[in-house]
A and B are shown apart, each in its own frame.
Chain A
Amino acid sequence: MKQHKILLITLAFFSIFIHTSCENYLDIEPKGVRLLSTVNDYELWLESDFLQTQVPFNLTYLSDTKDITNISNEPSFGTQSLYTWQKQISEDPQATPLLWAHLYKVVYYYNVVIMGVGEATGGALQQKQSIEAEALMGRAFTYLQLVNLYGKQYNEATASTDLAVPFVTSNDLDDLTPDRSTVQEIYDQIIADLTKALPHLPENNYDNRFRGSIAGAYSILARTYLFMGNYQEADRYAQLALDNGPNVVVDYANIPNAAAIPNLKKRPDAIFARYNTGRGVPEFPTLDLLKSYNTKDQRLNLFFSNIPVFPMLGGYIFPRRGVTMYWPGGITMTGTYVYPNCGTSVAEMRLIKAEAAARANNLVEACDELDEVRKYRFPSASYVKFKSDDQETVLNEVLRDRVFEFPFHGMRWFDMRRLDAENRMPTVNRYDGEGNVIATLPAGSKKYTLQIPVQVLLYNQNWSQNPWDDE
């Protein structure tokens, strides 16, 4: 009997040991990683450097401002394919689809917030709504890039049949990918999201320009309508952005070097601050771009290494490719990270307004708006205000200034697309080291709408592919 008692005690001990303590024992919060549960977690999530550097650096490879002098004759790897407007950036089914994968990861980040913040603990409803509104705004900003890479340039007549990208709202890998939406649907969604976000967004973001604000949403709306060709609305929202947020342009005319530009987090002219993924990486500009700058333009002298570094190479004559470089942080290389804003800025709003005015043939207003940017870009002694009463001249000057202002900001490709749709783009060529043409982007080319990456099509075989020039 005694033996049985001991046995029973032991068995009881077993079961207590294993069962009762089990749930508590296993329920440990992992350290070093975090499940998003509190409102503060979502705050920190929006603080991630991934989102703040979300603009794809690779966008500059598409742009006509970029030059690669040592390109191989058979462009093989991703970015070179992009630079030469290949049909696919990579045929390798295992390759990361550049641009697409990055932008959808950004979308994922915002979707995590949009889906989860409502159930988070430890914050007032207002704070949750504000965080969700910021995510909606960020997602809209991202879809604006996606629709302008993989969908045709917005054309009111065809937008509701032109296929763009899928509109993803889930954060679970187990969910199915939706089909491609039309260009119209994506634009509608962008506008709807921004409109939905506006009432809840913070009034301003002067202590951290990377975060959302009412002016930020207006500025993205202004850019959205500009890309849609709705200049009236673009002008209206640009003005709203200026009225509700910062309205100064950093004066390049009276600063000793680029290091004096305030850091982007608190830069006074940034409406919605975003870096690109490559931030400080220098680029070689085309000689055409270099030569088109006015030699007095501070945007040339602050950011392009030229005369001081290689006097023997010809100064402002720029005789050789691959010598003068664009330094995003300024040529003084002070290491203080004054990188360009690839989000929205006061200067962009001014230029949108100038363009809208020029297109509406309000040339005086257009020149005045342009002057609001240019007068801060030239030393006052050598500054001459641009004036013209020819609509085409004014419009061209405004468009040119967009290039000077945003040469490697990820803006140029989108401008090239909309200009090409208006037959304003010449043929763009790429040259190898010896000056032979190795790639061509003709006017009206289908290449202006990138193909869906094969890596994505493999998973979505019912999608149709975007057409290409040789088809």
Chain B
Amino acid sequence: MKTKPNGVLIYLIKKPLIITMKVFIFLFSVFTFGINTEEALSQNTIITFDSAMEISMGEVFKIIKKQTDHTFVFESNLFKNTPKIKIEKGDIKLGDLLEKCKSVTLSDFQFSESGAILFKRIPPEDVQQTITGKVTDMLGLPMFGVTVLVKGTRQGTTTNVEGEYSIKAPVNAVLVFSYIGYDNQEIMITGENTSLNVKMRENISELQEVLINTGYQKIKPEQSTGSIVTIQSKEIDTRINTTDFLTSIQNKVPGLLLNNDIEFEGKPLFQIRGISTIYGNKQPLIVVDGFPTELSLDMINPNEIASITILKDAAAATVYGARSSNGVIIIERKKAEIGKPKIRFRNTTSLTPKENYSSYRWDKNASKIITEWEKINPKSLVTDQAWDLLPTQSGDSYNLNPAVTIIAHWKSLTDPISIEERDRQLAELASYNNTNDYNQLFLRTAITKTNNLDVSGGSETAKYYVTTNYAKTQFNEVKNEQSIFRLSARTTINLAKKLSLDMTNDLNIANKVSVPIPSINNIFPYERFQDNDNNPLSIHNGSRANPYYNEFLINTGLLDNRYYPLKEIDEVREDIRSVANRVTANFRYNFSKELNVNFGGVYESSRSDNRHLAGEESVEARQYVNRYTTGTSGNLVYNIPRGGFLREQDNDSDGYTIRAQANYNKQLKKDHAFNIILGGEVREIINRSSSTAYFGYDDNTLFTLPVDYKKIVGMNPIYGRSNPEASFSQLFNQKYENNRFVSAYSNLVYSYRNKYSLTGSIRIDQSNLFGTNPKYKFKPLWSVGATWNIHKEDFMENVESINSMKLRAAYGFNGNVAKNALPQVIAVNGLNAITPNEVTPMLSLYSYANSGLRWEQTKNFNLGLDVKVMNNINMHLDYYVKKSTDILAINQIDATKGGNAALINRASILNQGYELDIDADWISRSRFNWNTGVVFSYNKSEVLDVYNPNLLENTSSRNYIAGSYADYLKGYPVGTMFSLKYAGVDNEGYAMSFDENGAAKRFFTDDQGLAELEYSGSSIPVLSAGLSNRVDIGDFYMYCMAHFYGGFKVRVPAPTIYNTTRPLEGADNYWKQAGDEADPNILPFPSNNDSQYMAYTDKYTVNGAYMTIGDLTASYSLRNSRFVKKSGISNIEIRLQASNIYTIGFNTYDFSKGTRNYEKRYMTPTYSLELNFNF
């Protein structure tokens, strides 16, 4: 952080200094004319210089003597060794000249009545001179709010809107200029410098200057051996953050794979250096203000992040012990600076338009081709009895869709319709497509509005930073909305000379309202939502009773069982209200320069109330009532009372971490430096949840009706058999989970001449998760690392183009916690409800006894190179190998042992990869800067072992291609995809694939298992890259971020009519008669297997590589506008951003995962406008 005034800087500030001096002197003269005393008269005597010169005091006296009558009195050695005085050509008043000499020579002067001028020495500390100047950034723009402090005192000020400051300071004092995100500048005041202009340098790319924050300690970069990346606030703040902070670091950190569009195991990708666990948590550990957080990431306001540090390898992360296997993300939030209150207000509005279904890859005549297909569908499940059974049968197989119902009517033996009538009815359906109506009735433009207010400031003894944030979102789905209020306060208090306290307090209140909007993919295109009089109509999906059976129910005295989407959105509403709180306090006591002790902790609590209300008229409530009604018409017994249904669920989470840590820094002689930390942590997390339910509930009277649950539990329904079950264990539920950890850790850094350093970490975690046997509770993890700062070697001295060069290597172990298993048999309480009215407590099996249970561990090796060249280009290159063993997973076991699957430590995964990160300021001028960031990551995984090595033999090919079977398969990457080798359609319309020997056969006939499949690749991108460019021109900048993902495969759904509501374009192009198979693009005749598995052929499994343009941001700052200056505002910044603008998929189908679904051809952009005010 320390920067000595360097030559370049002084040179840069010299010129403006002289100009300023001139102005100052002019003004000074004007003013002093007004005060016309005798002394002033003498002082106003003009001395003329013929040319600019630098002269000693003696020479000054000579010139004055020559031009005036004054004489001089001074101690003989007073001016010995004093600096020379710079004189400009022209006239100068005597007084000014002397003032100038005074400040340069540290001597005071006085006019005696005799006209003699007396000089006397003044002690340097008493010379309080006023220093003025202007602080600018590297682009020359004035910086507002920079703290200027006289080092070692509490004397300080901040710069004004113009970046100007004025401070009194003794000569030889050091001024410290500080501003968040910038390096501190320390400049010594020499007598000569009454004006001091300073350029602040951002610490973003300062490899040498920024300390690395590991959450536990701050290490000098040249001493760090681990793979660590830090992103500063400027980079995070360049774009408008409309969602969460993660979006801002997407493809900014090599090794961090973050992608919301690609899912693995049902979750968006969010991982550091691949997947190293199967059943454990795959996400990185998140640490906020020094302590891990269990709270939702919503808690973190993206606008107040000072830096994000990512720890990737063992040397960096081992200190986090058993939770470090997936890497660690450390978030440091903005901190207060000493000075007057700084206020910043930010307003953001974002718009996301609704779906444009007309550009989807859906067949425009969907209704027609579906209804036409039903006429010829040979596999239609409708039998000639179906029509007769419709009115009396509940159950899924009788809930026929409208088109099939017409077919059934035509097929009926007892009461058939004619084929003409059938076709007329089908044509009526075919004449309508509901996409427009759906769009109009259920969707709207999504709007998010955010207001953010920060106030910060403070004195040397206490600093504060308070921020409030309110964000309100209306989602694309009608009636769905959310609001979040955040309040965060952070203070640093110096309680005593050696004792300080950091405190933070965060509050987060979120309210979310959801209303059930039917998915368009679940609705047949020919279904209408309302009739001509705008009365809501029911749709097939979700009705769980065909219209005839429904009529029977109503006639019997039961309720309408059918689903009316437009009615439901008024009847059902789910409110989720969550409140989260986080308090941290950290005391720091400095025993000495070398030793200090931290003691502190974090307490987190969150509570969320989920209130799901389904009104009396909702299908949800009606279907419950029907399912549990017994008896016959006239004698119906409503075992669930008629009325509304209310379900309430509370989730509580409380957790704390208490940490005590000693930090020891020692410089031994000149060459050896030690940095040791030793600490201990206690951590507890308690999660609770409970849910209750009410039937017969009226939200106006708040009255609820009693239910005899003994009758309900496990009841065999009579009516509405396919209606959802009111599962007692889901309606009434208590959960409690208590996890405790005790850990001790140490980290040691030894550095020799700052050239070589060695690090070592060790951590022992104990927890309650592995029962009482110490063999399972202890998990020592350790790592070692070494760094060589090559540029500090003598032989590098002459290599001027390389500013710094560092080689580092690290090796060690990280761990992962897997829960819910113990070596003993675990039982779980339950209710035995098989005998009605005699519900009794019972215990049943939760997990098997497994004496071989142990913790997972990841062996980690990392080799890295950090280079800075040409002052402006930073590069980081990393290579790593991670081998995870003893991975715990729900694995198939020998069923003879008591079941089909259990949690066991058997698997092993290898991850290897390299990463490159370049950050360059190509052009850096005072009003122009062009910065480019390139991030490139490559990760290749291989499952080295899974529980059963014999699985590869004798397996049906079907199992490898569908489902999740190949996710973890020995010898293949995580998330592997296999494909059938497509061989076209045969002369009966069946799809064919090539077998092992290249002979074509129908799908899955004479199955050869894995042998006949083609290995396609992984479903997880192997490559990811980001390219960002920012161009600053004066007060304006443009920023653009592009993302690339590659090295993976995607499956493109083949168009089909079979079993779909929204057929894709070209679905009609299927085999109809012999000979059609000659067309290579002909689709197989729609039938169960073929259509379903077409996507799993090599024809439809294609390169998934795609690129997106994530953000395009433009910003204009009005800090130099006259209007803004007049209004007392230091800055107004206007920013515009378009996100998710464009995507391109590099395959024949032009399918980019950026759109998430193949049906969708484009990405839905978000447009944001931000106004930013600084006071």
Contact = CB atoms under 8 A, between A and B. Distances in A.
Given A45-B827, A334-B630, A17 B896 contact: no
B730 interface: no
B1052 interface: no
Interface string B129-170: 000000000000000000000000000000000000000000
A174 B660 contact: no
A48 B592 contact: no
Contacts of A174: 850-852
A6 B591 contact: yes
B716 A337 contact: yes
Contacts of B383: 433
B835 A173 contact: no
A429 B848 CA distance: 41
Contacts of A380: none
Interface in A56-111: 70, 91-94, 96-97, 100-101, 104-105, 107-109, 111
Given A36-B827, A174-B851, A47 B895 contact: no
A33 B843 CA distance: 9
B896 A168 contact: yes
A173 B852 contact: yes
B902 to A, nearest CB: 6
A396 B1083 CA distance: 57
A12 to B, nearest CB: 11
Given A7-B595, A97-B895, A101-B900, A91 B834 contact: no
Contacts of B777: 26
A323 B385 CA distance: 9
Interface stretch (B334-342, B461-469, B930-938, B951-959): B951-959
Interface stretch (B29-37, B272-280, B617-625, B733-741): B733-741
Nearest to A461: B950
Interface in B824-840: 824-830, 832-836, 838, 840
A459 B894 contact: yes
Nearest to A31: B736
Contacts of B851: 172, 174
A265 B951 contact: no
A168 B848 CA distance: 15
B742 interface: yes
A329 B716 contact: yes
Interface string A311-333: 01000000010110000010001
Interface string A25-39: 111101111111000
Contacts of A93: 892, 948, 951, 954-955, 959
Interface size class of B (residues with CB under 8 A): 35 or more
Contacts of B950: 458, 461
A226 to B, nearest CB: 27
A26 B766 contact: yes
A110 to B, nearest CB: 10
Given A104-B899, A108-B845, A455 B682 contact: no
Contacts of A460: 894, 896
Contact of A94 (B392, B680, B834, B959): B959
B896 A32 contact: no
A378 B742 CA distance: 72
A361 B835 CA distance: 42
A3 B829 CA distance: 55
B558 to A, nearest CB: 14
A28 B768 contact: yes
Interface size class of A (residues with CB under 8 A): 35 or more
A212 to B, nearest CB: 16
B904 interface: yes
| Residue from B825, B896, B900 whose CB has the most chain A CB atoms within 10 Å | B896
Nearest to B955: A93
B904 A28 contact: no
A171 B898 CA distance: 8
B904 A173 contact: yes
Contact of B630 (A6, A25, A335): A335
A32 to B, nearest CB: 5
A202 interface: no
Query: Binding site of B, secondary structure by majority: helix, strand, loop or mixed?
Result: mixed
A112 to B, nearest CB: 5
A172 B591 CA distance: 54
A94 B834 CA distance: 31
B897 interface: yes
B738 A31 contact: yes
Nearest to A433: B383
A182 interface: no
Given A26-B740, A27-B768, A53-B834, A108 B895 contact: no
| Residue from A30, A104, A168, A173 whose CB has the most chain B CB atoms within 10 Å | A173
Contact of B822 (A35, A52, A335): A35
A41 interface: yes
Interface in B724-766: 734-738, 740, 742, 744, 766
B597 A264 contact: no
B357 interface: no
Contacts of B589: 6
B557 interface: no
| Residue from A93, A101, A170 whose CB has the most chain B CB atoms within 10 Å | A93
A157 interface: no
Given A97-B900, A168-B897, A173-B848, A35 B718 contact: no
Contact of B826 (A33, A49, A459): A33
Given A18-B680, A265-B838, A11 B662 contact: yes
A112 B826 CA distance: 11
A379 B137 CA distance: 103
A96 B895 CA distance: 8
A22 interface: yes
A32 B737 contact: yes
A34 B954 contact: no
A453 interface: yes
A101 B414 CA distance: 46
Given A52-B832, A97-B900, A41 B951 contact: no
Given A26-B767, A93-B955, A104-B895, A275 B834 contact: yes
A280 B716 contact: yes
A456 interface: yes
A92 B956 contact: yes
A25 B735 CA distance: 21
A44 B896 contact: no
Given A48-B844, A172-B851, A265-B835, A456 B827 contact: no
B959 A32 contact: no
A36 B848 CA distance: 12
A37 to B, nearest CB: 9
Contacts of B392: 309
A433 B595 CA distance: 85
Contacts of B353: none
| Residue from A31, A97, A170 whose CB has the most chain B CB atoms within 10 Å | A31
A48 to B, nearest CB: 4
Contacts of A31: 736-738
B715 interface: yes
A374 interface: no
Interface in A1-27: 3, 6-7, 10-11, 13-14, 17-18, 22, 25-27
A336 interface: yes
29 contacts: A7-B597, A18-B682, A26-B766, A28-B768, A30-B738, A32-B735, A33-B846, A35-B824, A45-B827, A47-B832, A48-B832, A48-B843, A48-B845, A52-B834, A93-B959, A94-B951, A104-B895, A104-B898, A116-B825, A171-B849, A172-B851, A177-B896, A275-B834, A333-B718, A337-B715, A337-B716, A337-B834, A454-B954, A458-B951
Given A96-B900, A173-B904, A333-B716, 17 more contacts: A7-B597, A25-B740, A26-B768, A27-B772, A32-B736, A32-B829, A44-B842, A53-B834, A91-B955, A93-B948, A101-B900, A112-B825, A116-B825, A168-B897, A264-B835, A320-B385, A453-B895
The 9 closest A-B pairs by CB, nearest first: A108-B898, A459-B894, A101-B895, A31-B736, A47-B842, A44-B843, A280-B716, A174-B852, A96-B900
